[in-house]
Amino acid sequence: MLVSILVLALSAGAGLLLQTAMMAGVATAALDPTAVAYVAQSTELGRAHIARAGLAFAAALVLIAGRGGGVARWIAVALLLGAVASFAWSGHGASTEGGSGLLHLAADIVHAWAAALWLGALIAFGLLLRRSSGADPRASRGLWAGSRLQAPARS
């Protein structure tokens, strides 16, 4: 789990660099501290990437310091819920203004949480099937094949 959290944090940083290059129209902008700082501080997208990376790193630190114990795990879950919510801040959920914009953003956040829960449950179920001593190996393969077929239909 810790590796996944660190991948999330690092990919948020990489995403910020790639978005900077895309916005500037030149790949070298990703290596320009001034350009990266501008995107990070002056755009909602940049702030969302910074929040996502910071929340994920904080969750990793909490898990390491708390040795993955009960309270540390719940604090990490709360931090990671914030990291998942940041995907809505940088997406179309943040594009609507006014009161309906808050509703749109809230709906996107709940949707992102539901998607994260669904994906996590799917992975846990697949691992459970693989570890079951009497489970038919075709059940596990079918689960993964079904998820690949369903993903395009749900997007």
Q: Is the pLDDT at 155 greater than 70, yes or no?
A: no
Look at 46 and 130; give whichever has higher pLDDT.
46
Same domain, 58 and 104: no
Mark which of 90, 111, 143 sits at the end of a domain.
90
Q: How much is the average pLDDT of 52-61? A: 96
- CB neighbour class for 133 (10 Å; exposed up to 12, middle 13-18, buried from 19): exposed
Mark which of 63, 90, 117 sits at the end of a domain.
90
Same domain, 12 and 54: yes
Q: Taking the mean position of all CA atoms in its chain, how far away is CA 112?
A: 8
Q: How confident is the model at residue 66 (pLDDT cuts 50, 70, 90)?
A: confident
Q: What is the pLDDT of residue 101?
A: 85
Neighbours of 112 (CB within 10 A): 20
**Number of domains, the chain:** 2
pTM of the model: 0.76
Same domain, 48 and 16: yes
Q: Is the pLDDT at 109 greater than 50, yes or no?
A: yes
Mark which of 90, 109, 124 sits at the end of a domain.
90
Q: What is the pLDDT of residues 15-40, one digit of tens each?
A: 999 999 999 999 999 999 999 999 99
Look at 155 and 46; give whichever has higher pLDDT.
46
Share of the chain above pLDDT 90, in %: 57
CA-to-CA distance for 12 and 87, rounded, in angstroms?
Answer: 10
Q: What is the pLDDT of residues 72-82, one digit of tens each?
A: 999 999 999 99
Tokens 């959290």 sit on residue: 5
Domain that holds residue 101: 97-155
Same domain, 154 and 106: yes
Same domain, 64 and 136: no
- Check: CB of residue 48 under 8 Å from CB of residue 91: no
Look at 131 and 33; give whichever has higher pLDDT.
33
Q: How much is the average pLDDT of 59-64? A: 94
